[in-house]
Structures are given as structure tokens and as C-alpha cells.
Amino acid sequence: MTIQTPIKKPKYIPSEREKAFLNTVENAKYDRQIIAGIKKFTEGKVPEDMQGFYSPEELQALEDLKGTGLDVEARMPVKITRHYFDIAKNSKPIQVLVKASPAETYDLDGSADPGNQMSYSPVEGLIHKYELGLIYVVGTCSAHCRFCYREELIAKKDIEREDGTVAPKGMAQIGDIVDYVKEHNKIVADNGGRHPDTGRERLREILMSGGDPLVLANKNIAQWLAALSEAGIESIRMGTKELAFYPDRFDDTFFDMLDKFHMAYPETKLRLMVHFNHPDEFLKKDENGDYIPVPGGGLEWLENTKRAVVRLGQREWLTVDNQAPIIKGINNDPDALRIMQRELKRNKVENHYFFCGRDIIGHKAFNVPIEEAWRILNESQKGLSGVETHARLSITHYKGKTEVVAVSNKPAPGIPGGEKGVVILKLLRGAADAPDRGKITILGRNPEAIWFSGYNDRVIYDEAGLFEEA
Ligand code: SF4
């Protein structure tokens, strides 16, 4: 095992077009009123109305684990904004999402690097799969979801790389990413459209992730947007939960930056990948805890969230898609998911993916069995129109993004192993190799399975190769 030593690289130099755009960008100051760390609650150093958020018993149980191998905050630091607290105080599912619980470390089974991400990281801070690259631009969010599968990044844990070095995951640097994109795309172009080693196509899309890129200042976001466009990226996604955690982040200065970016780089598409888990995160409730119907249809939203969503929807060159995991105690509820899908689509937010939980360390506290997650999503889509039911259920295998296509309720006659019914998975995107798309895997049912390993002894047909040795 060796320790990594950072190498000093030349600074990235923006083009004249980038500089002209960046000079127009204005930063703003935000007061998210964040409470970070369970200690603030334990020591009573939170505003009065927040003091009962954790009961004395809950705080004691967390305190008892401090410094032990089961320390909950060492797994994932506690963080919440005032806006999200105001939602959570009246919502059990949102409390489960954001409150630390000793259950998180009862069973520490799981992976330090879910999805084998480091195998796809040619440059620090970049995960290159398919024709898409994911970059870590920041290591935190305005609040922290307890189920987060980036807990290793947010809690700054040591991760072993392919070359045996061990260090916390580093952030992407603009110069490194631009160089990599240009070089990869040149090799692909010189080789007739595919990379000679991996078979991958041009890197066309980058997902800015972390952490949440919207905790960065407008100028930092703008630097990334411009540099990626200059490097030839056609479509930039920003993965954010800020509509739920702090919708006031979508202010005049942010929209002004986006508009000016669009003027400077009209050819680059922007896609906001937002993250709502539950309708309580954006809908108002009356004194009985019920959502409030709007005359003419739909439900009443929280004002600042609605304002942000309307302003996003007014920009036709930008798309907004929601994707969220289905998590135990938060949204394993068909009625909540039905309301969420209907309201989002009504307000120009597409329903993109729902995810099965990942095999992160401690995943047993969060994950809903795969077959149950499929049933919940399927139930939630009953009564929705076709355009409201675009979301698919995905589970991320190290080989690529996989859809849980169907779970049969009855035995599959004549199929050995299908006596209790079957599960059909389909590879949506092969992480390394695009041609694998569309291949399927058929498994005998196991209602208890929360990860692929739950089917190791039930593989009926594995065209997609999901159960081959890694
Ligand atoms: S918003 Fe996403 S990255 Fe941030 S803590 Fe939640 S799941 Fe993790």
C-alpha cells in the first residue's frame, strides 16, 4: 500500500469566450441556517424550536456509539437546513431521511465503493461510464440524506484505487477533466467512432455531481459549464437536491448565470437532475396534515419551491428530471409516489428513474427488497396516465445501469428455477461497453433479496452477464 502524493499541474487557462461569459456572472450570499453535527443537538446549541428534533433517548443512543466501530456520524455526518427542518418537523418520512439513527450501523454489511466506481475513474474526480462522465465537483450537500450512497465521499473515507493507493476520493479539477475529454474524443474520432480499448463512443455528456454542485457559488458553476462546453461536451447535467433542501438557491443571480451561459453557449444542453424522494418535500399541508387541492386541479406547493420550478420550466433549453431511490420508511409507499409523479409531471419535471438502494456500508437499514420496490412503483403507477409513468426502476450493477423490468406473481411453468415466479432484469447501459445494451437476465424469485447477491443461486438465464465473476 502506498500513499498518494499530489502532483502540481499547470493552471487551466480559459478562452476569451469563457472569460467574457464569466465576467458577467454574479455571486450571491445565502443563509441556509445549516445545523451540522449531532453535537449541536446534544449540547443544545440549536435554535429553541429545533431542540426536540431528537429525543434525549435518541441522542443518548447515538452518543453511546461515538468513537466505537458503530459510530453513526463517522459513517455519514449529520446536516440539515432550516428549510428542510421546517418540512421534517411535520413529516415522519422526511425525519427518517435526515435524522441519524443507530439502526444505520447495526449491520455494516456493504461496499466501500458501490458500483465499483474506482474501476471507471481514469482521472481523479471523474467516473467515465457509457458516453457519460460523472464528476465530483464538491464533497457536500446543504443537508445530508442518511441513505446517501456517496457516504464515502461526504464522510471523506479512505478508498482503495485500482493501483493499490489509498486516499479519500478527490474532487475533479477543471484542467484535468478538459484534457481527458479532449484526449478521449480525439482517440475515438481517430478510430472511426469508438475507443480502440473500451469500445466507448465520444464523451458527449457530463454529470456535475458530488455532493451537490449547487452548494458552489455561481462563478464556480459557471467555470465548469463554460470549460466543459469548450471541451466539446454537448450536454451538461447538474445533479441537485437543492429544490428540496434550499429552494431559495434558485434566485435571480442563479437564473441570470444560466441565461447568460445559454447566450454564450447556445449549443450546449443543460439538464437538471433533481432529487425529490417524497411529496412532503414540496407540497403544503393543512392543519390535519393533508395536501391542499388547488381549484382546477393539482395540489398546493411550498411557495419558494414552486417559484423555482416555474422559473426552470420557463426555460425551454433546459430540462428537469427527477430521480430518487426507494428507501425503507421514506417512500416505500405507492400512494406517496403516485402523488409525487403526478405533481412533478404537472409542473414540467419529468419522472426519470427510481432506484433500488445500493450496497453501501450499512445498506440493510435503508434498502427495500428489490421485488418489493418493483411492486411499490408498479402500484404507484396504477391510475396515472402514460406520460406520468415514464419512470423506470433501476438497480446499478457494476456492469452498468440495469432495469428491473418485471416480477411475475405466478409460477413460470416449464422454467426450472421459476417455480416461485421470475424476475426479469435488462441492462440499460453497459458501463464499459455500449453494445451490451438490451441484454436480459432472468432470475427465480427471492422476495427477501435486497441486492444482486440475493439471487446468486437463482440465475435461470444470464444473457446480460450480471452474475459472471467480476
Ligand atoms: S443529496 Fe444526494 S449526494 Fe447529497 S446527501 Fe443526499 S443522496 Fe447524498
CATH number at residue 240: 3.20.20.70
Atom of ligand 1 nearest to the CA of 150: 8
Q: 460 lies in a domain?
A: no
Judge contact between 349 and 309, C-beta under 8 A. Answer: yes
User: What is the span of the domain harbouring residue 191?
Assistant: 9-353
Residue 79 Cβ inside 6 Å of ligand 1? The answer reads no
Q: 401 lies in a domain?
A: no
Ligand 1 midpoint to CA 211 (Å) = 6
Query: What DSSP character marks residue 290?
Result: -
Ligand 1 midpoint to CA 445 (Å) = 31
- The pTM (predicted TM-score) of the whole model is 0.94
Pocket probe mutation, ligand 1, options 148, 243, 322, max atoms within 8 Å of Cβ: 148
Q: Which helix (H) or strand (E) holds 313?
A: helix 303-313
Single-letter code of the amino acid located at 41: F
Judge contact between 109 and 390, C-beta under 8 A. Answer: no
Residue nearest to atom 5 of ligand 1 (CA): 144
Strands 392-397 and 400-407: antiparallel
The pLDDT value given to residue 161: 67
The pLDDT value given to residue 1: 47
Q: 464 lies in a domain?
A: no
The pLDDT value given to residue 436: 78
Single-letter code of the amino acid located at 397: H
Domain count within the chain: 1
Block means of pLDDT (10 residues each) for the chain, 470 residues, are 59 95 98 97 96 96 94 94 98 98 87 67 88 93 94 76 73 96 96 88 94 97 98 97 98 98 98 98 97 96 98 97 97 98 98 91 89 98 96 90 94 90 91 75 96 94 87
Cell numbers representing residue 189 in the block:
474520432
How far apart are the C-alpha atoms of 143 and 77, rounded to whole Å? 9
* CB half-sphere exposure, 2, CA atoms < 13 A: 8
Judge contact between 400 and 427, C-beta under 8 A. Answer: yes
Residue 358 Cβ inside 6 Å of ligand 1? The answer reads no
Cell numbers representing residue 438 in the block:
438490451
How far apart are the C-alpha atoms of 466 and 216, rounded to whole Å? 37
Ligand 1 midpoint to CA 27 (Å) = 23
Residue 152 Cβ inside 6 Å of ligand 1? The answer reads no
pLDDT by residue (tens digit) across 166-206? 777 789 999 999 999 999 999 999 999 999 988 888 999 99
Strands 126-129 and 440-444: unpaired
Q: 255 lies in a domain?
A: yes
Residue 242 Cβ inside 6 Å of ligand 1? The answer reads no
Render 229-283 in DSSP notation, one character per residue.
HHTT-SEEEEEE-HHHH-GGGS-HHHHHHHHHHHHH-TTSEEEEEE---SGGGTB
Sheet of strand 422-430, all strands in order from the earlier edge strand to the far edge = 126-129, 132-136, 205-209, 235-240, 269-274, 318-325, 350-355, 392-397, 400-407, 422-430, 440-444, 459-462
Q: 462 lies in a domain?
A: no
Residue 141 Cβ inside 6 Å of ligand 1? The answer reads yes
Residue 208 Cβ inside 6 Å of ligand 1? The answer reads no
Residue 144 Cβ inside 6 Å of ligand 1? The answer reads yes
Pocket probe mutation, ligand 1, options 157, 208, 241, max atoms within 8 Å of Cβ: 241
Cell numbers representing residue 64 in the block:
453511546
Single-letter code of the amino acid located at 371: E
The pLDDT value given to residue 357: 87
Residue 145 Cβ inside 6 Å of ligand 1? The answer reads yes
Neighbour count for residue 415 (Cβ, 10 Å): 15
Neighbour count for residue 291 (Cβ, 10 Å): 17
Q: 384 lies in a domain?
A: no
Integer CA distances (angstroms), 65 to 13, 143, 164, 431, in order: 48, 22, 31, 38
Q: 176 lies in a domain?
A: yes
Pocket probe mutation, ligand 1, options 207, 212, 272, max atoms within 8 Å of Cβ: 212
Ligand 1 midpoint to CA 77 (Å) = 12
Q: Which of 218, 99, 209 is nearest to 149 (CA)?
A: 209
Q: 223 lies in a domain?
A: yes
Atom of ligand 1 nearest to the CA of 245: 1
Residue 146 Cβ inside 6 Å of ligand 1? The answer reads no
Residue 32 Cβ inside 6 Å of ligand 1? The answer reads no
The pLDDT value given to residue 414: 87
Residue nearest to atom 8 of ligand 1 (CA): 148
